[in-house]
Amino acid sequence: MTQRRMTALRQYARLECPGLWREHAAAQRREVIVFFREASLILADPQNDQPLTHWSLPAVQRLNNTIPAIYAPGDDHEGETVEIEEADMIAALSTVRGALESARPNPGRLRNLMLGGLLALVILSAFFVPRAIISHTIDVVPPATRTRLGEMALAEMVHVTGAPCAAPLGRAATETLATRVFGAASWRIIIVPEGLTHPVHLPNRQILIPAALVEGQDSPDAVAGAALAEGLRFAIEDPLRPLLKHAGIWATLRLLTTGALPEGAMDGYAEALAQATPADIPAEVLLTQFTVAKVPTTPWLRTLPPSTRTAALMDSEPFPAGAPVAIMDDNEWVSLSGICRE
């Protein structure tokens, strides 16, 4: 990274502004908050700051020369755009883009030598900086590819969990649960009949919850807490990271260069994910987010093994009388708890 770009990034660090986001060409524009970060632009829901999409900063393109400025996440943006009127944000994007352009080498007689050096760098990176390659791939993978990888991950999980429980009323109840917990139906909560001892999350905002957790409760509070906690783990670590670490560095390079993983790259991924120990979540983060979502912590904590429960969290229950806003009505809970039996 050039000194000029470093200076630009420091100048505009933590900048944010409102914008109008269109997810694809046929979608309606919606209000978002645009966050300027070191490697990316984050477009988030203004109601709860929940990220909706990440754009790789080097790939961002301006599509017009008027105000509001219209930006796209790259060449293959499929109609996804964001409109920005904030002068400081427009200046930040222009400055960083200019720094990137000035640092980009011009083609010339040393092209072959440079390509050879790049190939050598890639080979060395495969051995010495795999984390950097995986991080870069996560930053630049487009939403359509992330969606496709999420579908592939779910198909792989079925080998361990069996087909997701699919009773129609139960599936409708999972949508109600996702909207209640996350404030967005874009999250997908999936109940699976076997193979898991704890919830896991997949790319494309998918959370898998074992049926035993649902069927063993007399209210939806514990299930809501389990989903919310797994959503927090999603925020702590992008689910593409363990997927790409499992696939390996060469498969990641294949994804980076072609947009697709090689055949067999996900073999064994489901077993590894099911057996992995869930990431710890800081107690203060749990309490804050459960309070914001109006979900009690105690019902969920009681589903955890005694060795993993935190007494301080049990004692700090924000809603000792239960959820102040119902998770769902009784009929929906009956449908959810019977999702695998219908």
Render pLDDT for 129-169 as a digit per residue (tens, 0 to 9). 577 788 888 888 888 899 999 999 999 999 999 999 989 99
Task: Please give the average pLDDT of every successive group of 10 residues along the chain, which has 342 residues.
Answer: 48 79 90 83 86 84 91 84 90 75 52 61 55 84 90 94 93 94 87 95 94 92 95 90 91 88 92 92 89 93 78 78 90 94 72
End-to-end CA distance of the chain: 57
Do 332 and 203 fall into the same domain? yes
Do 157 and 271 fall into the same domain? yes
Within-domain flag for 129: yes
**Pairwise CA distance, residues 39 & 232, whole Å:** 21
What long-range pairs does 44-53 form, CB within 8 A, spacing at least 24?
45/183, 45/184, 46/18, 47/183, 48/183, 48/292, 50/182, 50/183, 50/184, 51/235, 52/21, 52/186, 53/21, 53/23, 53/80, 53/143
Do 31 and 174 fall into the same domain? no
Instruction: Name the burial class of residue 174, with classes exposed (0-12), middle (13-18) and buried (19+) by CB atoms within 10 angstroms of its CB.
Output: buried
- Of 89, 124, 140, the position where a domain reaches its end is 140
Write the DSSP string, 223-255: HHHHHHHHHHHHHHS-THHHHHHHH-HHHHHHH
Helix (H) / strand (E) containing 146 = helix 143-161
**Pairwise CA distance, residues 116 & 136, whole Å:** 21
Do 88 and 235 fall into the same domain? no
Within-domain flag for 250: yes
Extract the tokens encoding 200.
Answer: 């896991």
Residue-level pLDDT at 164: 95
Within-domain flag for 243: yes
Residue-level pLDDT at 163: 94
**What stretches of 193-314 adopt beta strand conformation (E)?**
200-202, 206-210
Extract the tokens encoding 153.
Answer: 């991950």
Do 195 and 331 fall into the same domain? yes
Do 158 and 61 fall into the same domain? no
Domain that holds residue 59: 3-103
Cα-based distances in Å from 29 to 52, 194, 235: 13, 40, 25
Give the total number of structural domains in the chain: 3
DSSP helix/strand/coil, 107: coil
Do 118 and 79 fall into the same domain? no
Residue with tokens 């039996």: 341
Residue-level pLDDT at 6: 47
Phi, psi of 46 (to 5 degrees): -70, -15
DSSP helix/strand/coil, 18: strand
- 189-198 tens-digit pLDDT: 999 999 999 9
Residue-level pLDDT at 109: 47
Report the CATH number at residue 21: 2.30.29.30
Do 268 and 283 fall into the same domain? yes
Residue-level pLDDT at 244: 92
Do 59 and 170 fall into the same domain? no
Within-domain flag for 295: yes
Within-domain flag for 342: no
Within-domain flag for 89: yes
Do 202 and 159 fall into the same domain? yes
Residue-level pLDDT at 339: 94
Within-domain flag for 134: yes
Do 199 and 218 fall into the same domain? yes
Within-domain flag for 298: yes
Do 205 and 133 fall into the same domain? no
